[in-house]
Structure 1
Amino acid sequence: MTAYTYYTASTIDGFLADPNDSLDWLLSQPIDDDGPFSIAELMAGTGTIAMGATTYEWLVEHTAGEPWSYPEQQTFVFTHRDLAPVHPTVTRLAGPPAEHRARLEDAAGDRGVWVVGGGGLAAQFAAAGMLDEMIVSYAPVTLGSGRSLFTEPFDFELLDTARNRAFAIARYRVVGARKAAPSQR
């Protein structure tokens, strides 16, 4: 069975990016590339990448003139916008994740799917029963507003924690959609 992992970084107040989609807060933090929960460790087990359009556009804009960051994995960009692929391994998909499950898993082969962003896309995967774990690297920064880490009410179970220089990292199992509390009279 293919494992789906939402691997991301967040401010301690729960934002992936500021209101202008800037990641300056993230890029200024020290991290050990070979430390716990490293990107290299994640990529070794990743066969397919599922990405939101805003994340894709940010990546393309901020790496212009450089080779595509993920040439070894098939990248599926979930969007209704007409975005041009910057590499032969990039494909645009429209519609909810469940409609594309077989395609994602076929592309992953015997490895997993990395759900890379953003919080709305990760919540869609979770709602479809297509998210097993969430790994969050929390930076010692607050933004006050911006793009949310996760956009729907869900319960998670803490499985593991580590420190990687400035980051507190937590690995969670996705339990399920959060049930509304009974109303009190």
Structure 2
Amino acid sequence: MTTYTYYTASTLDGFLADDNDSLDWLLTQPIDDDGPFSIDDLMASTGAIVMGRTTYQWVVDHLARTGEAWPYAAYPTFLFTHDDGADVVDESITVVSGSPAEHREQLEAAARDRGVWVVGGGDLAAQFAESAMLDELIVSFAPAAVGSGRPLFPRAFDFQLLETARNKAFMIGRYRVIGARG
């Protein structure tokens, strides 16, 4: 059975990015790439990736600034957007629109009995949860606050804390999705 995991980082005040979609707060924090809940651990069990348009655009812009290539070329990536004219930077990217449930079969076929990494943003992760297609959240909380911006999870949901760890500056929690509140 395919599992869906929202793996992300957040500020202590619950934001993925500030009002300008900046992740400067994240890029200045120390982390051990081989430490607990590393990206390599996640990728070892990942078969497909999904992300929203804002997250995708941030990644593309960041890669353009650093001169790096698309880092997920080995994984089928699904870009959820309302923009039919979205430019893709790699042949591994498929542009889709609509609800996650409309694409479940395609996502799970692409994942080949491995997991689906819901990169974000928070609104997309919440849409997956509302479609009963989000099993876990793994959130690395950084010792920073930005005051406002893109929320970690913009819907009323309950979660069960399963595990915690520390990776240098980050406090990490792994949560099971219980369901919508009320």
Shorter-chain TM-score tier: over 0.9
Q: Where in structure 1 are there 5+ consecutive unaligned residues?
A: 180-185
* Shift, 1:132, TM fit: 0.2
Who is 1:77 aligned against?
Answer: 79
Who is 1:174 aligned against?
Answer: 177
Listed as ranges, the matches of 1:140-179 within 5 Å are: 140-179=143-182
Who is 2:28 aligned against?
Answer: 28
Distance 2:107 2:113 in 1: 12
Distance 1:91 1:53 in 2: 12
Distance 2:73 2:44 in 1: 13
Who is 1:105 aligned against?
Answer: 108
Q: Where in structure 2 are there 5+ consecutive unaligned residues?
A: none
SS of equivalent to 1:62: helix
- The number of aligned residues is 179
Q: For 1:129, which of 120, 126, 132 is the aligned residue? A: 132
Larger Rg: 1
Who is 1:139 aligned against?
Answer: 142
Could you state the TM-score of these two structures normalised by the residue count of structure 2?
0.97
Render the CA deviation track for 1:62-84: whole Å, top value 9, x for unaligned. Answer: 10232111011000000011211
* Shift, 1:85, TM fit: 1.0
RMSD: 0.5
Distance 2:46 2:159 in 1: 22
Q: For 2:95, which of 89, 92, 96 is the aligned residue? A: 92
Could you state the TM-score of these two structures normalised by the residue count of structure 1?
0.96
Who is 1:58 aligned against?
Answer: 58
Distance 1:4 1:85 in 2: 23
Who is 1:183 aligned against?
Answer: none
Residue 46 (structure 1) aligned with residue 49 (structure 2): no
What letter is aligned with 1:72? A
* Shift, 1:53, TM fit: 0.3
Farther-moved stretch of structure 1 (61-70 vs 110-119): 61-70
Dislocated runs of 4+, deviation >4 Å: none
Distance 2:117 2:97 in 1: 18
Identical-pair percentage: 68
Distance 1:40 1:71 in 2: 15
Farther-moved stretch of structure 1 (56-65 vs 159-168): 56-65
Distance 1:58 1:83 in 2: 13
Farther-moved stretch of structure 1 (66-75 vs 150-159): 66-75
